Amino acid sequence: MANFSCFFLFFLVLYFANSYSKAQSVPAIYVFGDSLVDVGNNKHLPLSLLRADLPHNGVDYPGGKPTGRFSNGKNSADFLAEKLGLTTAPPYLSQPNDVFVKGVNFASGGAGIFNATNEDVIKQTIPLPIQLGYFSLVHQRLVKQLGTASAQEHLSKSLFPVVIGSNDLINFSKSKNTPQQFVNLMVSSLKEVLKGLHGLGARKFLVVGTSPIGCAPKQRFQSTTNECNAEVNSLSKNYNQGLQSDNPTTYGFNETKAACCGLGKLKARVPCTPVSEYCSNRSNHVFWDIYHPTQTTAHTFIDILFSDSREYVTPVTIQQLIAI
């Protein structure tokens, strides 16, 4: 399996029919997920051990300062908003009492589909069921401000990206279930959250498949030969059967194994912290740190999403979804 496929995934585009048939724009994005799309929620969690509000994160972000993104710059949530002509949806915890008519980001570093994922290690994160609860509060405020009919129309046109599952897979070893039972439970639990979002007015979903995270620097670090973790990758493939491999050199990435920011072998012995080293050639690295993509990787990731290619998006393209 090619290393680069860690971030070039299949997207499951779901649309639940309603009364709108002509082409529509996207008025807002409501983002759910983990550190791949967290734009700063975890820095508002005082006890969280997984934070990205310290150097060298943000070195390539406008202003050059850490923002809470697990990246050297922007992440996929930023580039998705740019493609749709929107500003990046703010982190929910930065202003939890807002109405968020233009969208909001609930994603949290370390979060999983399951409530128990990482709770014994990271101490504080926002698992997907809690993110759904936060959206329920936002939904109440939208209805109060816009009225029931207008709020429903607004949400039916909005986009709901869901980027989550990797942390659950990484923590599979703590489960008493078989691999297939674990994957089945992940799928069924995710479906319940999607049903909950649908019940609150969401109609257009962009569900991102999990990557073969066994090829991330942290997982390779555990091998004396820097090979991918086959067991973790097998779980990823079972969870996302549509995932296909890709060639990293096609997109100009020369370093596909090592992280850019960190210390030790593959820069994966120590994560990206103020005492870590970071590379100068960040644009040709797939990974920024032990698990997360560089800004360049995230940008290319979203470009492919909008390339109108059915190789990566099913059952309809993102352009078709937006136009519904």
Tell me if 15 sits within 8 A of 318, measured CB to CB: no
Which helix (H) or strand (E) covers residue 144, if one does?
Answer: helix 128-146
Segment 37-95, tens digit of pLDDT: 999 999 999 999 899 999 999 999 999 999 999 999 999 999 999 999 999 999 999 99
- Which residues contact residue 123 at a Cβ distance below 8 angstroms, ignoring those fewer than 6 apart? 47, 48, 49
SS3 259: strand
31 to 89, 131, 244, 258, 280: CA distances (angstroms):
8, 9, 24, 29, 31
What residue ranges define each of the domains in the chain, with the CATH number in brackets? 3-323 (3.40.50)
Which sequence positions are flagged as catalytic?
35, 289, 292
| Sites in the chain below the pLDDT cut of 50 | 1-9, 18-23, 242-245
| Helices marked H in 6-63 | none
Segment 178-195, tens digit of pLDDT: 998 999 899 889 999 999
Residue 253 tokens, joined: 């990435």
- Which residues contact residue 306 at a Cβ distance below 8 angstroms, ignoring those fewer than 6 apart? 83, 318, 319
Tell me if 228 sits within 8 A of 1, measured CB to CB: yes
